């Protein structure tokens, strides 16, 4: 299956989870094994050897863990507040429809460790910005951010480029 065919399985859901939001539903892509494999193989092209793969809750986990498994790399979950059992650091961030908090275990990333950060959607950039800040606070080096889908009109890329000059950012699809 070609990448554009796999990404074409993503379906927009209007007014979810709030009125005015056009949610991008990735479940049809995930339920198609060939499409999921195609996307994972495309993401694999961006990974450096010896790096850890970090994924942002919840849908970023799916792609990050699949990629980490394919690369025989470690997977680091970056979760919503209160979901991790060990000592954490946290970062609050804004969404297009509210405010939330991300957390990471204090021992999840080694000093100077290369990290590939994955999320499903780049919208306003707030979630990815918070995740990068957490990784950097632990001493990690985010060498690349991968997003399955980028909502360009929300200008998240511009926000991240301004905040982190030189950041390598790739989105597989743009809406």
As annotated, the active-site residues are: 59, 96
CA distance 21 to 13: 8
Give CA–CA dist 173/108, Å, rounded: 29
Q: How far apart are CA 47 and CA 26, in angstroms?
A: 22
Is the four-CA dihedral 94, 59, 162, 138 of positive or negative sign? positive
CA angle 38, 96, 144 (to 5 degrees): 40
Whole-angstrom distance, CA of residue 29 vs CA of residue 140? 31
Contact between residue 54 and residue 119 where contact means Cβ atoms under 8 Å apart: no
**Bridge partners (DSSP) listed for residue 116:** 53, 144
């Amino acid at each position: 299956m070609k990448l554009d065919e796999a990404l074409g399985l993503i379906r927009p859901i209007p007014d979810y989870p709030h009125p005015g939001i056009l949610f991008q539903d990735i479940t049809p892509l995930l339920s198609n094994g060939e499409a999921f494999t195609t996307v994972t193989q495309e993401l694999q092209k961006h990974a450096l050897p010896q790096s850890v793969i970090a994924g942002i809750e919840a849908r970023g986990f799916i792609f990050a863990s699949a990629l980490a498994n394919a690369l025989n790399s470690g997977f680091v979950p970056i979760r919503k507040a209160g979901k991790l059992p060990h000592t954490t650091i946290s970062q609050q961030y804004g969404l297009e429809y509210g405010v939330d908090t991300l957390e990471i275990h204090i021992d999840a990333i080694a000093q100077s460790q290369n990290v590939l950060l994955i999320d499903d959607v780049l919208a306003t950039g707030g979630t990815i910005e918070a995740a990068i800040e957490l990784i950097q606070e632990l001493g990690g080096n985010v060498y690349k951010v991968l997003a399955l889908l980028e909502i360009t009109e929300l200008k998240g890329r511009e926000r991240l480029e301004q905040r982190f000059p030189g950041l390598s950012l790739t989105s597989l699809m743009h809406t």
